[in-house]
Structure 1
Amino acid sequence: MKNLDDRIVRRKLSDEVFDRLHDLIASGEVGPGDEMPSERDLMERFGVGRPAIREAMQSLHNIGLISISHGERAKVSALTPRTMFKQIDVVARMLMLTSPESLEHLKGTRLFYERGLVRIAAERATTADIDALETILTSQKSHYGNSELFIDDDIAFHRKIASISGNPILEALSESLLKWLFEYHIEMLIWTGKENVTLQEHAAILDCIKARDPDAAERAMVIHIERSRGLYAVKR
């Protein structure tokens, strides 16, 4: 016979308020950019004290559903794929910091999706897309020796390739994964000539996209990613 536990667990008031506020947003009663009701209005509406309201509002802020600024009414955030990945950013970084296996899995994941994305880019890229990639590559060349700006351009290059798919989730994923990987770039601050290799590989990828050759673009991307795998390692 199953041992069923039907005891009712008493919830914190702030948890109940959180659920009610979450429903306000989910139902569309308040939408992106709208101000949340005042604390006083919410206290009267739900029949609870200010601490429960503030704790619930802070929880909503912590998961990105609302933004709280000092001296202003809280506002409902505009949710995007980037918002989604931002919410797991801290956990993802901690996971890789404490688990070398997770970092290896991340490298493998990147290889898997970049191969598909660059094929799509070679098939679908417009003249404007190619011009944008050219501009990013030119910017990256100009930032040779400046590791922070060089890496920003590196992320922008791959994010632009992802954006050609027309899928904003893939674009946001590309940006997030690269940012997480660069946390473990053991040569991020002390460069040893690898910038030139990166620039050459990016140029080769772009040439294949221009040539509308998905197979060649995939091969160029695999060379680029496989070469860079060893540059990422868990810090000790």
Structure 2
Amino acid sequence: MKHDLHASPDRITRRKLSDQVFDRLREMIASRELPPGAPMPSERDLMERFGVGRPAVREALQHMQTMGLITISHGERSRVNELSAGSVLERVDDVARMLLSSEPEQLEHLKQARRMFECGLVRVAAENATAQDVRDLRELVGEQRARIGDPEAFVTADMTFHSRIAQISANPILVATSQSMLRWLFQYHGVLLHWSGREKITLHEHDDIVDLIAARDADGAVAAMQAHLDRSNPLYLHANAINRAD
């Protein structure tokens, strides 16, 4: 049988110089040779260190900025960014919103994911909440109640309430994921509150959830959160239809 050299797994593929520079810089950041907040070496220093031209260095640096690894400021040295779960997820916000707008059926997947996610979070909250956590949640419900009549402020307060439940987990990845899901849903939720007239129902459900967290009733808190999200999910569908019709 004739051997196809082009299909060989051993075939050597030439890579762009800028990609190789990017990989080397990424390794320097990962190894803390360039720690968060540190200034990046100058273009000239990088050219000399890697033996490449200015175009390769500049393209690599631009790629690093696009990836959120560094910040390039004109007139100042570029600096290494402090990475966190939140900063990483924030970089996909625009893409996530575009996906929801161009493929509305993805909204169903997001709602399902949020339901499963938040029910897990509220169970953790009921098992671990401190007295201060409960006081904070009650204060947030009170602040949300004061925002009735201002739809955007009411939704913002709603997001803060759910984010505070996530914070009880003390897990930054869970907190960042919760906040991202809420941001992605915000464009739909903001529309529905103008006509839903169900703010008082939302507040009553939030009160119930806090009471169950305070009572350390994990199963009850999960059931209440499920009912809360199941009631609001059909409203997202209606609001999404309004967005597409506009």
- Answer yes or no: is 1:155 the counterpart of 2:154: no
Q: 2:148 & 2:71 partners in 1: Cα distance?
A: 37
CA deviations 1:54-97 (Å, max 9, x no partner) are: 22111111111112223221111111111221232222222222
Q: Which amino acid in 2 is paired with 1:183?
A: Q
Residue 104 of structure 1 corresponds to which residue in structure 2? 108
Residue 172 of structure 2 corresponds to which residue in structure 1? 168
Of 12, 21, 26, which residue of structure 2 is paired with 1:17? 21
Q: 2:191 & 2:198 partners in 1: Cα distance?
A: 9
* Aligned pairs for 1:1-236 within 5 A: 3=4, 4-5=7-8, 6-185=10-189, 187-188=191-192, 190-233=194-237, 234=240, 235-236=243-244
CA RMSD in angstroms comes to 1.9
Could you state the TM-score of these two structures normalised by the residue count of structure 1? 0.92
Q: Which runs of 4+ in 1 moved over 4 A?
A: none
Q: CA deviation at 1:101?
A: 2.7
Could you state the TM-score of these two structures normalised by the residue count of structure 2? 0.88
Q: Identity of counterpart residues, as a percentage? A: 54
Q: 1:139 & 1:51 partners in 2: Cα distance?
A: 53
The structure with the largest helix share of the pair is 2
Q: CA deviation at 1:22?
A: 0.8
Q: CA deviation at 1:7?
A: 4.5
> Please, which runs of 5 or more residues in structure 1 have no aligned partner?
none
Q: Which amino acid in 2 is paired with 1:119?
A: R
> Please, which runs of 5 or more residues in structure 2 have no aligned partner?
none
Q: Which amino acid in 2 is paired with 1:193?
A: G
Change (3 A) 1:213 1:148: same
Q: 1:35 & 1:186 partners in 2: Cα distance?
A: 41
CA deviations 1:162-215 (Å, max 9, x no partner) are: 111121111111110111112223625624312222212111111111122112
